[in-house]
């Protein structure tokens, strides 16, 4: 059985400003860095075999902090990237209420397919291992949606630097 510690990246400048980051790199705030340090300290003594991260900066930075006491490298994967918000990327979130969604927003089906591919990759690549993976709010929700076989709207939102355990 593979144990997955699924983590959302620490708070970013755009999180604070309520900007839809999507697949932009993002920059952790001081608070976001402290959140990553808190996760690091909490999981310092856990045996973790591998550290995976989205290939976006905010997740990589979070994962590197958490991995530091384990002396392990962080492997990045686009499978953990946040949802592609298309033309909504960079928008002020409160301004989007009631607006027609652009056609170039990644669909929930495509997002869930990517989440399924990530879980298959984990099972095949890290059997009987403990893996910590840092992703984003929506992709982490999709991963849990696939794992629990529930619609995404039934999965609770993850807060910044929140950790959830899944046994695959």
Residues catalogued as catalytic: 9, 82
Q: How is residue 82 written in tokens?
A: 């946040």
**What does the alpha-carbon distance between residue 153 and residue 21 come to, in Å, rounded to a whole number?**
20
Contact, 62 vs 9, CB < 8 A? yes
**What does the alpha-carbon distance between residue 144 and residue 138 come to, in Å, rounded to a whole number?**
10
**What does the alpha-carbon distance between residue 55 and residue 53 come to, in Å, rounded to a whole number?**
6
Q: Is 146 exposed, middle or buried (0-12, 13-18, 19+ CB in 10 A)?
A: buried
Q: How far apart are the first and last CA of the chain?
A: 6
Q: Give one word for 26, left, alpha or beta, with left for phi > 0 and alpha for psi -120 to 50.
A: left
Q: How far is CA 167 from CA 79, 144, 163, in A?
A: 19, 11, 13
């Amino acid at each position: 059985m593979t144990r997955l510690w699924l983590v959302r990246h620490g708070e970013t400048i755009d999180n604070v400003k309520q900007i839809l980051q999507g697949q932009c790199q993002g920059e952790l705030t001081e608070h976001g860095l402290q959140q990553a340090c808190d996760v690091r300290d909490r999981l310092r003594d856990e045996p973790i075999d591998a550290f995976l991260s989205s290939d976006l900066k905010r997740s990589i930075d979070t994962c590197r902090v958490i991995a530091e006491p384990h002396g392990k490298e962080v492997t990045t994967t686009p499978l953990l990237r946040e949802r592609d918000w298309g033309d909504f990327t960079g928008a002020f979130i409160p301004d989007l209420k009631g607006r027609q969604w652009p056609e170039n927003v990644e669909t929930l089906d495509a997002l869930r397919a990517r989440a399924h591919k990530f879980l298959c990759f984990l099972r095949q690549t890290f059997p009987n291992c403990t893996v910590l993976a840092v992703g984003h709010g929506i992709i982490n929700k999709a991963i849990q949606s696939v794992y629990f076989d529930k619609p995404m709207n039934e999965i609770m939102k993850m807060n910044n630097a929140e950790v959830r355990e899944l046994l695959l």
